[in-house]
């Protein structure tokens, strides 16, 4: 792709949780809970006009979905998080970290800081707004392809985390609500997908260099803003994997190019004035249908409803991203109302819907060879709202690639989430006075800025004799724990990195975050030879399932092992005697695998290998 010719502009927003003792606007701890909540509260949220009388379009759209919001709370939450008490003063610790990050990004600290309210009506904030404040502006970072501007550095509160949702409700947990975040927004001067990845990596390095940010899945979130000359500005949210950033950018470019082509084709066919919204019930056609989705909906007192799309034949079937069609885009809009999706003429008959049923739909909706239709199933009021949104999106297809917020998907594609918020969503916080950052504090922070990422890597290589690749991994992921372990224990860097990898995998697969205390206890036992390094994986797996760390370590301790290693290996050798006689020394490797599986990390691999070799030699010499 010729990115310059396309007019590609990319910007980044980085949201990083800060590792503070308290939340941003109250004194509750910044811990996430996995136990049963103490109770729940239920709310409905409604949009209100800003100080200049405007209602934000994204907030209005969320309100129209008619959701009820349920909030789970704990004894580590207070009335501030429930929006039953005004916010407390801003955390001094969070303000200090915000200034430090700003200085590392060459940004200029704002003279007077005003806390603002940013309207959020998706249920993730009990107050229906998020508090945020601008700390600094006009910074920059250097990339291989030139500088990237830093427009703003903000300090804000994190949202409640979603636990579940269905057609009518969303359930959130209040433990994350209010955790301090630093938000970094670059300018739209990133010119290609690889530069976007590099800029995100550099920003991550700078944040971790402070040693004052949280680590683990979900503690840093990246949003990508992507646009091309004939397209629209799209915000891709939930960009978690650094290596995937180029693909997400490329797929969004591809999507916008294809939507521009659809716009041109539609305008060659007709005008958006040819589209007329007429909501028609089609339930009687499907009373004996083979479609499981539709029959299940009808049994739950739902109905089937459809609209005609004049001159849209074959448009909904056009691919706009790999494996995603324009019809998929429309289905994403429908799903925001809690419906399972939609059916359209370009994909039917299929999904249990027969050719005869399709013909009956065409007759009832008045479909000719150039027209298309869309049908949905569910409660009438919800289906009406969903099809109105489908209709409006189809009208926009004649004139624009809509500015919108989209969720990044694992395969590099994205799906519609909501309209892009406008200026009406932001207004001043009335419960907190504006404040200034003391000039002496700024100078003190400036004089004590942490080492850069590269400086720290060089220091680790020199001090600990690490390879560069090892130093990069450790410095990026957990330098503080490595320094603590290295100063008091005899643990190889390869074992440390292996434990970090296992912890990350458990977090992805089980949602369990291994704390530094657990890892240190584990390294301590390995260092003293009490448990084998091969046991690290099994210990972490069991701890992740809720077992007590001390109990598991005791069970894995070589001092407390109740089985005889030699006799256990002897038993395996006897079973594999014929195999050994056939393969000779080549039998050692596969039998070693059997032994390791048998002992499950409770015995050092070196000891197993030594005994195994001796036993195999004895058998071979006896022949």
Tell whether 163 and 246 lie within a shared domain.
Answer: yes
Do 134 and 97 reside in the same domain of the chain? yes
SS3 letters across 256-307: HHHHHHHHHHHHHHCCHHHCCCCCEECHHHHCCCCCHHHHHHHHCCCEEEEE
Per residue in 169-228, pLDDT (tens digit) is 999 999 999 999 999 999 999 999 999 999 999 999 999 999 999 988 789 999 999 999
Same domain, residue pair 382 and 488:
no
Q: Specify the pLDDT at position 557.
A: 67
CATH number of the domain residue 319 falls in = 3.30.1360.30
Answer yes or no: do 382 and 298 share one domain. Answer: yes
Asked which of 397, 432, 463 is the last residue of a domain, the reply is 397
Domain check: are 247 and 140 in the same one?
A: yes
Picking from 234, 266, 298, the residue at the C-terminal end of a domain is 266
Series of mean pLDDT values for 10-residue runs along the chain (623 residues): 95 97 97 92 78 65 78 96 96 98 98 93 89 97 95 97 88 97 97 97 93 88 95 94 95 98 96 94 97 96 97 97 97 93 96 97 96 97 96 97 96 94 79 95 95 90 94 90 93 92 84 85 86 81 84 68 66 81 82 76 71 80 73
The verdict on 382 and 531 lying in the same domain is no
- Domain total of the chain: 4
In a domain, 436, yes or no: no
- Residue 200 falls inside a structural domain: yes
Q: Would residue 613 count as lying in a domain?
A: yes
Do residues 556 and 570 share a domain? Answer: no
Answer yes or no: is 545 within a domain.
yes
pTM: 0.80
CB-side neighbour CA atoms (13 Å) of 255: 32
What is the C-alpha to C-alpha distance for residues 401 and 40, in angstroms, rounded to an integer?
41
Same-domain pairing of 159 and 278: no
* Claim to verify: residue 141 and residue 204 sit in the same structural domain: yes
Helix (H, G, I), strand (E, B) or coil at 515: coil
Q: Is residue 429 part of a domain?
A: no
Is residue 87, in this structure, part of any structural domain at all?
Answer: yes
Residue 203 falls inside a structural domain: yes
pLDDT given at position 544:
84
Is 434 inside a domain boundary? Answer: no
Task: Say yes or no: 488 and 340 in one domain.
Answer: no
pLDDT at 304 (0 to 100): 98
Same domain, 483 and 381: no
* Boundary-marking domain end, from 513, 536, 560: 560
Which residues span the domain enclosing 579?
A: 565-621
Q: What are phi and psi of 2, to 5 degrees?
A: -95, 95
Same domain, 143 and 260: yes
Q: Considering just the CA atoms, what is the radius of gyration of the chain in Å? A: 30
E-state strands within 28-179: 39-43, 68-73, 108-109, 115-119, 129-143, 146-157, 161-165, 169-173
H helices present in 515-604, as ranges: 516-527, 536-544, 549-556, 565-575, 577-583, 588-599
In whole angstroms, give the CA distance from residue 392 to residue 539: 55
């Amino acid at each position: 792709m010729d990115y310059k010719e396309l007019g590609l502009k990319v910007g980044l927003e980085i949201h990083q949780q800060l590792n503070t003792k308290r939340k941003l606007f109250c004194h509750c701890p910044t811990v996430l809970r996995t136990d049963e909540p103490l109770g729940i509260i239920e709310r409905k949220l409604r949009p209100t006009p800003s100080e200049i009388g405007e209602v934000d379009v994204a907030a209005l759209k969320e309100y129209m979905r008619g959701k009820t919001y349920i909030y789970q709370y704990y004894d580590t939450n207070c009335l501030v998080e429930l929006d039953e008490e005004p916010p407390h003063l801003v955390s001094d610790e969070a303000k200090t970290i915000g200034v430090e990050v700003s200085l590392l990004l060459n940004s200029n600290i704002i003279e007077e800081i005003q806390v603002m309210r940013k309207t959020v009506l998706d249920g993730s904030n009990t107050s229906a707004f998020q508090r945020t404040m601008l700390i600094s502006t006009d910074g920059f970072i250097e990339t291989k392809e030139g500088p990237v501007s830093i427009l703003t550095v903000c300090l804000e509160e994190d949202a409640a985390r979603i636990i579940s949702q269905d057609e009518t409700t969303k359930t959130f947990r209040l433990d994350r609500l209010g955790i301090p975040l630093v938000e970094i927004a670059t300018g739209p001067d990133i010119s290609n997908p690889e530069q976007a990845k590099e800029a995100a990596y550099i920003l991550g390095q700078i944040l971790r260099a402070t040693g004052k940010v949280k680590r683990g899945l979900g503690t840093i979130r990246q949003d990508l803003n992507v646009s091309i000359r004939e397209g629209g500005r799209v915000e891709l949210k939930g960009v978690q994997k650094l290596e995937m950033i180029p693909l997400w950018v490329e797929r969004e470019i591809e999507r916008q190019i294809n939507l521009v082509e659809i716009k041109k084709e539609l305008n060659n066919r007709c005008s958006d004035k040819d589209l007329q919204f007429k909501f028609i019930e089609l339930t009687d056609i499907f009373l004996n249908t083979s479609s499981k989705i539709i029959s299940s909906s009808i049994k739950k007192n739902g109905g089937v409803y459809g609209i005609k799309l004049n001159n849209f034949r074959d448009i909904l079937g056009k691919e706009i991203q790999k494996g995603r069609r324009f019809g998929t885009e429309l289905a994403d809009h429908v799903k925001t109302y809690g419906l399972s999706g939609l059916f359209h003429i370009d994909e039917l008959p299929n999904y249990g819907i027969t050719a005869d049923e399709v013909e009956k739909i065409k007759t009832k909706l008045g479909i000719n060879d150039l027209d298309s239709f869309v049908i949905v199933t569910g409660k009438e009021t919800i289906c009406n709202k969903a099809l109105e949104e489908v209709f409006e999106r189809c009208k926009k297809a004649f004139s624009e690639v809509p500015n919108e917020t989209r969720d990044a998907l694992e395969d590099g594609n994205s799906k519609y989430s909501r309209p892009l918020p406008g200026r009406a969503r932001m207004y001043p916080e009335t419960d907190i006075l504006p404040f200034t950052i003391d000039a002496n504090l700024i100078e003190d922070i400036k004089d004590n800025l942490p080492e850069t990422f590269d400086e720290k890597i060089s220091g680790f290589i020199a001090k600990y004799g690490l390879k560069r690749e090892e130093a990069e991994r450790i410095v990026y992921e957990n330098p503080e724990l490595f320094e603590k372990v290295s100063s008091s224990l005899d643990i190889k860097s390869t074992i440390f990195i292996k434990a970090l990898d296992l912890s990350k995998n458990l977090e992805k697969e089980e949602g369990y975050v291994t704390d530094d205390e657990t890892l240190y206890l584990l390294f301590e036992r390995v260092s003293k030879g009490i448990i084998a390094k091969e046991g690290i994986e099994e210990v972490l797996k069991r701890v992740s399932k809720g077992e007590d760390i001390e109990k598991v370590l005791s069970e894995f301790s070589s001092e407390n092992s109740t089985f005889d290693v030699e006799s256990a290996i002897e038993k395996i050798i006897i079973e594999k005697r014929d195999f050994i006689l056939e393969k000779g020394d080549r039998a050692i490797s596969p039998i070693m695998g059997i032994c390791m599986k048998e002992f499950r990390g409770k015995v050092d691999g070196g000891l197993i290998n030594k005994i195994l070799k001796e036993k195999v030699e004895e058998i071979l010499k006896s022949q």
